[in-house]
Amino acid sequence: MPEIDVAPSKQRRLLWRTAEVKEIIEETPRVRSLVLAVPDWPGHLPGQRIDVRLTADDGYQAQRSYSIASAPEAPQLMLTVERIQDGEISPYLTAEVRPGDRFGLRGPIGGFFAWTSAVGGPLFLIAGGSGIVPLMAMLRHRAAAKSTIPALLLYSSRTFEDIIYREELDQFAARDRELEVVHTLTRTQPVGWSGGARRIDRDMLADFGFGAKLHPKIFVCGPTRLVETVALSLLELGHERGLIKTERFGPTG
């Protein structure tokens, strides 16, 4: 396994690079992953993000931040983008972009919301919707590192069809006895569904999560409402504030 050695982004000048789309993966009806070739990519930590910049023919530019979905060990960078209604960039990335297209990219950005196997565990991941993206980078890194650190993912989606990376998560859990993946669906559930059927709440965190006495490393990512509810519930359950790291984004399901 290649060594992961990424200096904090604040110590590195962030340069704009040109990313070329090599492959497109349709994850759900509203979510797409882009596999990118980025010359001279400096490497990243699982949980970091990048800025994407699009430039129109008339010179108008739009810029947004996206979490990195790929593990540092992957040969190419991956972004997973959810289509946001009236968004400036996500409609293009989720519907119009084609292999061979290019756009501006800079990063990696951030270092607080990051985890590697060297940090240890247990690892407790809590996601809502496309908040799974940086947490998936952590799970992919954990798999690439052949880590046996106990890990648990509690993942909330609208419907079964909205579960991002569903098949890959199933495969991870099937072959790794130290990883547990728990799904909950907040809107509709298919016939025979045995997972959760409500939003993540304190009782769900207590029933499925690692106990506070184990001092798990906790990462929470999703819509603001979910992140705030989960963070408060974790504190009420006795988890240490310093072990809870959160990242939130704008309105989504």
Domain ranges of the chain: 9-109, 117-249
Classify domain 117-249 by CATH architecture.
3-Layer(aba) Sandwich (3.40)
**Total residues belonging to the chain:** 253
Residue 251 pLDDT greater than 70, yes or no: no
What is the arithmetic mean of pLDDT over 160-172? 97
Residue among 155, 83, 145 nearest 120 (CA): 145
CATH 2.40.30.10 holds for 9-109: yes
- For 72-128, how does the pLDDT look when each residue is reduced to its tens digit (9 = 90+)? 999 999 999 999 988 889 999 999 999 999 999 999 999 899 999 999 999 999 999
Q: What is the pTM of this model?
A: 0.92
- The SS3 assignment for 234 reads helix
Dihedral (CA of 44, 78, 186, 197) sign: negative
